[in-house]
Structure 1
Amino acid sequence: MSEKKSAVWSRIAYACGTFGHDVFYAMLGTYFMIFVTSNLFRSDDATRDAYMIGIVTTIILVLRIAELFIDPFIGNIIDKTKTRWGRFKPWVIVGAFVAAITLALLFTDMGGLAVTNPTLYLVLFAIVYFIMDVFYSAKDVAIWSMIPALSFDSHEREVTATIARIGSVFGGQLITVIVMPVVLFFSLNQNGGAGDPTGWLAFACIGGGIATLGAIILGFGTKEQESALRENKTDTSAKDVFKVLTQNDQLLWMAIAYLVYGLGSNIVNNFNLYYFIYVIGDATKFSILGIINVVIGLLAVALFPVLTTKFSRRKLFFSSIIIMVAALAIYFMAGTNVTLALVGAGLFALPQPLIFLVVLMTITDSVEYGQLKLGHRDEAVCLCVRPLIDKLAGAVTSGIIGMTAIWVGMTGNATAADITAPDLLKFQIIMFAAPIVLLILATFIYRAKVTLTESEHARIVEELEERWEEINV
């Protein structure tokens, strides 16, 4: 096979891995909480159900925040991994397999324990969730840490990341298309359009299988490129891991801006299905949004390399935020109008892949920034920041989603007809007003503190190469 053809197949395999990975991410980050609030606890005692939902939500929040302190060490272990299959692929495949099995188990009441023995259920839930989260994190860090191992050129990284993001956008939005058709097809009880536990378990098994298959394809179809610059003269010790994250100021400020942005965007993304179930009253229309998001998401990602040649990453970031704020204004005015809601939700989703790529490229370039500043290269430690922030934003968002659903009555057997006008207003404040404030705040942080541009990165790489040559003369 020619080198060019091999590179094409490698990129396709990588995109298959990110496709499956975002299928899993969407199941965990967006739809698991819907299962918890609408199907996991459905007894005749609404107060007890609300209490159990609150406990589960708290467990998720606490575990995901606690596990954040483990992620940098996972990245450090991956950086030190040496196998015949490379540094990253073993973590991708094993992580995918374990995470898929444990997530499917979480989409059950564990043999009825949620009702018969709530205390035992909560203990087992916490253990299984923690195992799932650790292995998912290892896979997440490993997949996206491969990008700086493939090239030192910013433009080449953008092309690779774009292809990978095409796969991930397709995977994440495909779930939006199929979630309710799959859940309702396998459900024995439609439950006001929210399906039943059997349907949600089938959805979890199908999604987990797709994610695992994608990881296997990535494992067989990709190969890391070796480079002298990737060989650390000194390994980063466990006690120095957090120094890497705090002393690399560009990595730190990008992470803070991305966290604030992620809180705003995740609130809206996670509430979309709630909006169609409990406000519009027709969950089947949600699949239309998935189709719209697949088309515009793939278009946005495909245009990223072109846009970055005409505009800087900074301009793309600012323009994307403006579009998202305008979209939320449209979405807020939609009410029960399906067409207007689809326009607002679709427009809100349009720039998100672009912002993801801007953040990913900046964090990727911070590897060389940190190497120049700190004297050692930490690919996985730096790249673990992006999934770490996603998890933190997701954890906080899950808490917000669960508590808001209880607050406004969007739980159990409730339907759109049960939501009162005051409760709807509360829901709209959380879903629309709060995210607008967060998006604007993220923009101010990014503009004031993130200065690692494409040209600055090129200068840093050139200086690193000159130093390496001097050392090895």
Structure 2
Amino acid sequence: MEQNAKQNKVLTRTTYAFGAFGHDLFNQVMNSYFIMFVTNHLFNGSDTAANNRMIGIMTTIIFVLRIAELFIDPFIGNTIDKTNTKWGKFKPWVIIGTLISGVCMMLLFSNLWGLTARPFLYLFVFTFIYIVMDIFFSFKDIGLWSMLPALSFDSLEREKTATVARIGSTLGGTIVTVTIIPVILFFSKTNTGGTGDSRGWFIYAAIAAIIAILGALSIGFGTREVDSPLRENKEETGFKQVLSVLVHNDQLMWLSCAYLLYGMGAYLTNSLMLYYFTYVLGHAAMFSILGIANMIIGFLAVSMFPALAKKFKRRNVFVSCIVILLVALSVFAFADQNVWLVIVAGALFNLPQPLIFLVVLMTFTDIVEYGQLKLGHRDESLVLSVRPLIDKCAGAIVTGITGMTAVLAGMAGNAKVADITASNVLTFKLIMVVGPAIAVLLGTFIFLKKVKITEAKHAEIVAELEKTWNQQDDTKD
């Protein structure tokens, strides 16, 4: 019996990790590199003004759509919470969401059968496909990470599962940095600006989508939710109550504010990294070296998380990671064209990010029980939907800033390294380094000042729920 339980845990962690691997691979390609495909390969004709106009329209559309979807995500989480199938509430959405969003991503990394020659028609079709991709990716994203509190009630077991999953997702995200340029160049017929051509980008996106689909299927066949009276809601949260639940969970709101500011800072620097290698250094191929370093460092960092969290507690891990992040930004500020110093700065910048993600994820997960005790009903997917919602909000803002930066710094269209002036580099660095540093510092201040959910506090909440949850039900009866 004990051996079977142990085998089930291993299977759950392994398949969940592979699903997270495919998920973050997909997410990294779409969030960090789609805008480069747009600025440098989709619109790279001889008319620079027309190119910049279309880039501006595209980034505006993405920004507006992602901001608009912020109001949809909580209802997606609420829909998942209400799902009841023999496969559980999460797995159907993970699989369906990945299949549809994967196909859509492949279409987005193309010129839609030449429709770019007819700009207004292209923009209409692009908008429709992007909406479908974003909505179904939300179902998959929310469903995937919302499973965590349903796999165990024990905070330490959650940490182990989340750590293994984060190893998978870290490898998925960093392997993109390692492979994106070599794979794109391999499948490209021409090499435009050191980053291949549209054919290579489409094939890379297709590979990423297929891996994500395989990962979703592994979750479908390999994970199992725990059965517990604590997961039985006494009353469902109706659509009219969704926003009320979010607003009245003060810990959820403060953590969300802190994570949004941090995410904007980290995503912006990450999204501009390839531009740095391509246009400031003139060594796009060296980007893969950074990817290899990030993969090794990320794997080691995540593997150490349970031990670090146990010895130093999550909040101390979080603060230490922020310090490392700020040191990395300082190195970027003075690296100039020293490619190896830039690689050191990039690796140092990547080192704390998986650990920060785990601290935030575990805090969001523990807030499920906080909300359950405070509000009287359990909303797993609704609460956990807030984290990907924030990722999207930060991603939308960063996409707009990245597109604007590429244009302002002269790094769009057919730009070459020789075209980049000292003024362009200064503009680029101010946006890539100074802006993120300010955002990260503000997010850290809010986290330390307002977020009160610690490991000890969560254990108290679970103990209280175990004593009172069924009693509440008996009282109502």
TM-score by length of 2: 0.98
Cα separation, 1, equivalents of 2:6 and 2:453: 31
Task: Give 3-state SS (helix, strand or coil) of 2:86's partner.
Answer: coil
Structure 1 residue aligned with 2:21: 19
Deviation at 1:468, TM superposition (A): 2.5
Structure 2 residue aligned with 1:84: 86
1:328 aligns with 2:351: no
Cα separation, 1, equivalents of 2:334 and 2:75: 45
Deviation at 1:2, TM superposition (A): 2.1
Per-residue CA deviation, residues 11-32 of structure 1 (Å, 9 max, x unaligned), is 1000010000000000111010
Structure 1 residue aligned with 2:45: 43
8 Å CA contact 2:16, 2:222 repeated in 1: yes
- Whichever residue aligns with residue 121 of structure 1, its letter is Y
Structure 2 residue aligned with 1:449: 450
Gaps of 5+ in 2: none
- Whichever residue aligns with residue 52 of structure 2, its letter is A
Structure 1 residue aligned with 2:195: 194
Structure 1 residue aligned with 2:364: 363
**Residue in structure 1 matching 2:104, options 99, 102, 105:** 102
Structure 2 residue aligned with 1:161: 162
Per-residue CA deviation, residues 366-400 of structure 1 (Å, 9 max, x unaligned), is 00000011000000000001100000000000000
Gaps of 5+ in 1: none
Per-residue CA deviation, residues 99-133 of structure 1 (Å, 9 max, x unaligned), is 11001100111111112x10010011100000000
Cα separation, 2, equivalents of 1:413 and 1:471: 66
Cα separation, 2, equivalents of 1:320 and 1:307: 11
1:269 aligns with 2:256: no
Cα separation, 2, equivalents of 1:292 and 1:43: 35
Alignment of 1:246-325 (within 5 A): 246-325=247-326
Deviation at 1:472, TM superposition (A): 6.3
Structure 2 residue aligned with 1:29: 31
Task: Give 3-state SS (helix, strand or coil) of 1:277's partner.
Answer: helix
Deviation at 1:6, TM superposition (A): 2.1
Cα separation, 2, equivalents of 1:416 and 1:455: 53
Cα separation, 2, equivalents of 1:195 and 1:445: 42
- Whichever residue aligns with residue 289 of structure 2, its letter is I
Task: Give 3-state SS (helix, strand or coil) of 2:30's partner.
Answer: helix
Deviation at 1:464, TM superposition (A): 0.5
Alignment of 1:204-243 (within 5 A): 204-243=205-244
Deviation at 1:471, TM superposition (A): 4.2
Structure 2 residue aligned with 1:2: 4
- Whichever residue aligns with residue 328 of structure 2, its letter is A
1:373 aligns with 2:374: yes
Deviation at 1:194, TM superposition (A): 1.7
Structure 2 residue aligned with 1:141: 142
Cα separation, 1, equivalents of 2:259 and 2:121: 37
Per-residue CA deviation, residues 386-430 of structure 1 (Å, 9 max, x unaligned), is 100000000000000001101111011112111111111000000
1:62 aligns with 2:77: no
Between the aligned residues of both structures, percent identity stands at 55
Per-residue CA deviation, residues 264-323 of structure 1 (Å, 9 max, x unaligned), is 000100011010001110111000111111111011111110001111211111111111
Q: Per the alignment, do residues 236 and 337 of structure 1 end up closer, same or farther by CA in structure 2, a change over 3 Å counting? A: same
- Whichever residue aligns with residue 173 of structure 2, its letter is G
Per-residue CA deviation, residues 142-163 of structure 1 (Å, 9 max, x unaligned), is 0000000011111111111001
- Whichever residue aligns with residue 415 of structure 2, its letter is A
- Whichever residue aligns with residue 353 of structure 1, its letter is P
Cα separation, 2, equivalents of 1:271 and 1:158: 31
1:122 aligns with 2:123: yes
Cα separation, 2, equivalents of 1:45 and 1:469: 69
Structure 2 residue aligned with 1:93: 95
Query: Which stretch shifts more, 407-416 or 139-148?
Result: 407-416
Cα separation, 1, equivalents of 2:459 and 2:414: 57
Over aligned residues, Cα RMSD in angstroms? 0.9
Cα separation, 1, equivalents of 2:361 and 2:462: 18
Structure 1 residue aligned with 2:471: 470
8 Å CA contact 2:234, 2:473 repeated in 1: no
Cα separation, 1, equivalents of 2:472 and 2:209: 48
